[in-house]
Amino acid sequence: MAGPVARLARLVVPVACPGCGEQDVRWCEACEAPWWEPPLRCESGAPRLDAVEPALPAWSIAELDGPTHGVIAAWKDQGRRDLGALLAPAMRRAAREVAAALDPAAASSPVAVVPCPARAAHTRRRGEDLPLLLARAAAAGLADAGVPAATVAALAPASGASRGSGDRGRWRAGPARTRGAAWRQPALRPVLLVDDVLTTGATLARAAAALAGSRLVPIGALVLASAPAPGKVLGVGEGP
Ligand SMILES: [Zn+2]
């Protein structure tokens, strides 16, 4: 973003790094660096994923801390849509790396990259469907790695009106419900779920539950950032 208009805009609305507050940069080098680290398995820090059967491996690009949380929060809730120019390429690169770790059986049919949906009101306010943007980036990353993939918006946020509708077997209680695309697939299709952050794992668990019985079968999840696993700070042990 350069040019006289951008410079003028900065005079009116100063820009600052959402990670650390450094002035006059969209984001600083230090706060960008975590987004280019190798994605790491993170499901051990998400207790609610324990209930998902079969187990859902999850990868995260960055640990959720002050700067990474600041970047995501600014992108989602503070009008910094320009941060998509950082986060979408980071997601694409991470998906490229995760592709090799996905179950090889998954490669037998194209992977459906399914975003955990944002609430409709949030998407309206943001002017953009950010989860879908992340999913498209992830699908591009899988394709980069030679794994055929396409975005499938198979989940919608549950609304009060849709819960308990007569569409038996389709709708499930909870903040995610399946769209027709989950059922219209010609065959069983592996799914990479995509979300922005992973904390307890409840969102991913509900997404997996909503897809249960459909033709979309979750085989993994990829998120931008995840809360550190309990005990990690101590640097000892690997789980309980
Ligand atoms: Zn910074």
Instruction: Give the pLDDT confidence of 191-235 residue by residue, as tens digits.
Output: 999 999 999 999 999 999 999 989 999 999 999 999 987 665 443
Other C-beta atoms lying within 10 Å of the C-beta of residue 77? 11
Report the alpha-carbon distance of residue 196 to residue 203 in Å, rounded: 11
Task: Tell me what the pLDDT averaged over the chain comes to.
Answer: 85
Going from the Cα of 70 to the center of ligand 1, the distance in angstroms, rounded, reads 9
Q: Which of 1-10, 20-29, 31-40, 194-203 has the lowest mean pLDDT?
A: 1-10
Going from the Cα of 32 to the center of ligand 1, the distance in angstroms, rounded, reads 7
% of the chain beyond a pLDDT of 70: 82
**pTM score:** 0.85
pLDDT band at 75 (very low <50, low <70, confident <90, very high): very high
Q: Near ion ligand 1, which residues have CB within 5 Å?
A: 17, 19-20, 22, 28, 31
Going from the Cα of 7 to the center of ligand 1, the distance in angstroms, rounded, reads 20
Going from the Cα of 85 to the center of ligand 1, the distance in angstroms, rounded, reads 15
Going from the Cα of 86 to the center of ligand 1, the distance in angstroms, rounded, reads 13
Q: What is the DSSP string of 22-73?
A: -BT-SS-HHHHGGGGSPPEE-GGG-GGGGG-SS---EEEEEE-SHHHHHHHH
Predicted confidence (pLDDT) at residue 11 exceeds the cutoff of 70: no
Is 147 within 8 Å of 104 (Cβ atoms)?
Answer: no
Report the alpha-carbon distance of residue 39 to residue 83 in Å, rounded: 19
Catalogue all structural domains in the chain, each as residue range(s) with its CATH number: 25-229 (3.40.50)
pLDDT in tens, 103-148: 766 566 799 999 999 988 999 999 999 999 999 999 999 999 999 9
